[in-house]
Amino acid sequence: MRIALVSEHASPLAVLGGVDAGGQNVHVAALAQALAQLGNEVVVHTRREASHLPRRVELCPGVVVDHIDAGPPRPVTKDSLLPFMGDFAGDLHRAWLLERPDVVHAHFWMSGRASLQAARPLGIPVVQTLHALGVVKRRHQGPKDTSPPERLAMEEQIVRRVDHIVATCSDEVFELLRMGAEASRVSVVPCGVDLELFTPRGPVEERDPRRRRLVVVSRLVERKGIGNVITALADVADTDLVVAGGAPKAELADDAEYRRLAALAAEYGVADRVEFRGRVDRGDLPALFRSADAVVCVPWYEPFGIVPLEAMACGVPVVASAVGGLVDTVVDGVTGVLVPARQPARLAEALGELLDAPDVLRALGAAGARRARNRYGWLRVASLTTETYRKLAGSRQGVRGGVSW
């Protein structure tokens, strides 16, 4: 099949760890490559963020990244991109007139808006993966939510108009149904993990063998719950915490969230036990994961969460908040431990019990590695996704007609 992936802010070529560069970038890049391995032709359309970038760049055999001019050719936060989506859609429409895809798969809500506007007049089916829902973000962040005010209404229109929705977890399905999606047009396909990079065997980063180690890998944003881990650490003795993510270490001091977290560590008397590593190259993550007694991922909400899968694939148990996609991936008492979000005391209790039980840690880690290998390989994810594409392309063309917002 000829497949167009649309990811307006999350380029598969982006450096991870920035404010808007995270799981979606990994997802789109890995899905595109796996789709190509299955014999498909894939074009990933994303916004140009630098003037020197060529219009088209080969990501790997069978996958081309197409840089679209929409807004200034520089990084712009995703919450500021909506005014440029008309230009983005216009470029997509012209591209698809010349080289028509069999199916369009939009990633994130603004990509869905642009994809519908570009594809609907051509009768091309549109599949949507939202990655995050505005209604959930608003529920948890309230006035701190920086999304455009139009987001909630536009997302409702998108879930009602697209030909199919690929949700990444079961929790998301219930949210989509409440927004007006038809159950028959929603399926669940999880995110995947790179099983060649993330493995139980391999180099292990050196650490103090006399100390226990927890690892957090995350963008430095408040909703990721890193502050809750730091607070809990005060009640977990003989344990160090490594926080990887954000800007390069030399630039962390300019990051407001880093300064808040560092001050919190000082306030709770654990500053000497918390290391802020800054951005870590993706290739170095497996060794970091393997050095941990447990990986902690306790966001306030999480549409899916790739880090727990990466840790599980490395054979490391995960302590995660019982929210969103984490409830699907982390099996409580089997591959890790689920705790309530935003409750540092409960987190500290769970960590203390787990770290005091090395046999349990080993068993959880081994079970996590098996689960990751059996269920979350990218070829399996791409195969399930392709089934959706083929049903749409085989049953009918997408609905034709203009789309107004």
The pLDDT tens digits for 345-378 are: 999 999 999 999 999 999 999 999 999 999 999 9
- Check whether residue 103 and residue 218 sit in a common domain: no
Model confidence, pTM: 0.88
- Check whether residue 263 and residue 321 sit in a common domain: yes
Residue at token pair 């969460």: 305
Residue at token pair 């987190």: 347
Number of domains into which the chain is organized:
2
pLDDT-derived band at 19 (thresholds 50, 70, 90) equals very low
Q: Does residue 18 have a pLDDT over 50?
A: no
Could you read off the pLDDT of 183-213 as tens digits, one per residue?
Answer: 999 999 999 999 999 999 999 999 999 999 9
- Check whether residue 232 and residue 161 sit in a common domain: no
For residue 320, count CB atoms less than 10 angstroms from its CB and return exposed for 0-12, middle for 13-18, buried for 19 or more. Answer: buried
Could you read off the pLDDT of 50-102 as tens digits, one per residue?
Answer: 999 999 999 999 999 999 999 999 999 999 999 999 999 999 999 999 999 99
pLDDT-derived band at 248 (thresholds 50, 70, 90) equals very high
Instruction: Give pLDDT, residue 22.
Output: 66
Which residues make Cβ contacts (< 8 Å) with residue 346, sequence separation at least 6?
339, 340
- Check whether residue 61 and residue 188 sit in a common domain: yes
Residue 159 located in a structural domain? yes
Q: Does residue 16 have a pLDDT over 50?
A: no
- Check whether residue 48 and residue 87 sit in a common domain: yes
Residue 143 located in a structural domain? yes
- Check whether residue 237 and residue 369 sit in a common domain: yes
Residue 200 located in a structural domain? no
- Check whether residue 222 and residue 187 sit in a common domain: no
Residue type at position 37: Q
- Check whether residue 7 and residue 121 sit in a common domain: yes
Which residues make Cβ contacts (< 8 Å) with residue 237, sequence separation at least 6?
none
Residue 304 located in a structural domain? yes
- Check whether residue 23 and residue 42 sit in a common domain: yes
Residue 207 located in a structural domain? no
- Check whether residue 275 and residue 167 sit in a common domain: no
Residue 242 located in a structural domain? yes
Mean local confidence (pLDDT), 109-132: 97
Mean pLDDT, the chain, integer? 94
β-pair partners for 164: 127
Q: What percent of the chain has pLDDT over 70?
A: 96
* DSSP 8-state secondary structure symbol assigned to residue 398: P
Q: Does residue 312 have a pLDDT over 70?
A: yes
- Check whether residue 362 and residue 260 sit in a common domain: yes
Does residue 129 contact residue 165 with C-beta atoms inside 8 Å? yes
pLDDT-derived band at 14 (thresholds 50, 70, 90) equals confident
- Check whether residue 261 and residue 287 sit in a common domain: yes
Q: CATH number of the domain that 353 lies in?
A: 3.40.50.2000
Residue 290 located in a structural domain? yes
Give the C-alpha distances (Å, rounded to integers) separating 195 from 11, 73, 375.
Answer: 22, 34, 11
Residue 240 located in a structural domain? yes
Instruction: Give pLDDT, residue 144.
Output: 87
Q: Record the tokens describing residue 153, joined without a space.
A: 């209404």
Nearest to 50 by CA among 33, 72, 82: 72
Residue 312's domain comprises 212-375
